[in-house]
Chains A and B, each alone.
Chain A
Amino acid sequence: QQQVKQSPQSLIVQKGGISIINCAYENTAFDYFPWYQQFPGKGPALLIAIRPDVSEKKEGRFTISFNKSAKQFSLHIMDSQPGDSATYFCAASPISSGTYKYIFGTGTRLKVLA
């Protein structure tokens, strides 16, 4: 019940295309869903996050879609660029319980071809 399942493991997209990464969870206590981006040799950095009171959040070319009933959320990268090539991790946390630890997905390695 603590798992967050992430797919696909790797993704290759042409420049200008849409990249889509999916995550699913079981624990209904999760109420904070961030996405982290990690470049080689660097630590992960927050990209965008959503709470379950909204179904979508957009920041520039990055959008999170959230489906509470299906317990799924996804990251969409519009107009993908070679600079977006990185590893992406979804995560979930039961913030309202006072627990601030994350459960991370297994990661998606994105490569955007020029």
Chain B
Amino acid sequence: DVKVTQSSRYLVKRTGEKVFLECVQDMDHENMFWYRQDPGLGLRLIYFSYDVKMKEKGDIPEGYSVSREKKERFSLILESASTNQTSMYLCASSSPGGASYEQYFGPGTRLTVT
């Protein structure tokens, strides 16, 4: 069964802390994505990666960075957390080509920055 796991379901951090959100997929997918979900704004793409050590900016990359050292793992980093980064963070993965371009999502990490 397809699985995307995220390291924490809930996280509370203080302003200025460095925050790591981890995502692991077991489907050998090439593509991985980080989104944030806010009420009324839908899902917005932060960063994505099509291969190991490769990354591309999404629509809202400011204040974030990513790391992909292994194919199955994609990390989102908040260098200095701020209160406006309080949100639900969703990781997804997909495999290009074939009949399906489906993105498989993890359960999300609800991050609160105080």
**CB of B86 closer than 8 Å to a CB of A:** no
B91: nearest chain-A partner, CB-CB: A43
Query: B92 contacts which chain A residues (CB < 8 A)?
Result: 43
Are B58 and A101 in contact (CB-based, < 8 A)? yes
- Min CB distance B3 to A, Å, is 11
Query: Which of the residues B4, B33, B107 comes within 8 Å of A101, measured between beta carbons?
Result: B33
Chain B residues bordering chain A, tally (CB within 8 A): 25
Interface membership of A61, Cβ < 8 A: no
Q: Are A100 and B43 in contact (CB under 8 A)?
A: no
Interface size on A, residues (CB 8 A): 25
Q: Is the CB of B48 within 8 A of A101?
A: yes
Residues of A within 8 A of B41 (CB): 106
Query: Does B94 count as interface, using CB distance less than 8 angstroms?
Result: yes
The residues of A with any CB-CB pair to B shorter than 8 Å are 2, 6, 9, 32, 34, 36, 41-46, 49, 89, 93, 95, 98, 100-107
A–B complex contacts, Cβ < 8 Å, 13 sampled: A9-B40, A34-B102, A43-B106, A43-B108, A46-B102, A100-B96, A101-B58, A102-B43, A102-B103, A104-B35, A104-B42, A106-B42, A107-B42
Contacts A102-B43, A104-B43, A107-B42 supplied; 4 other A-B pairs, CB < 8 Å = A34-B101, A89-B42, A103-B45, A104-B44
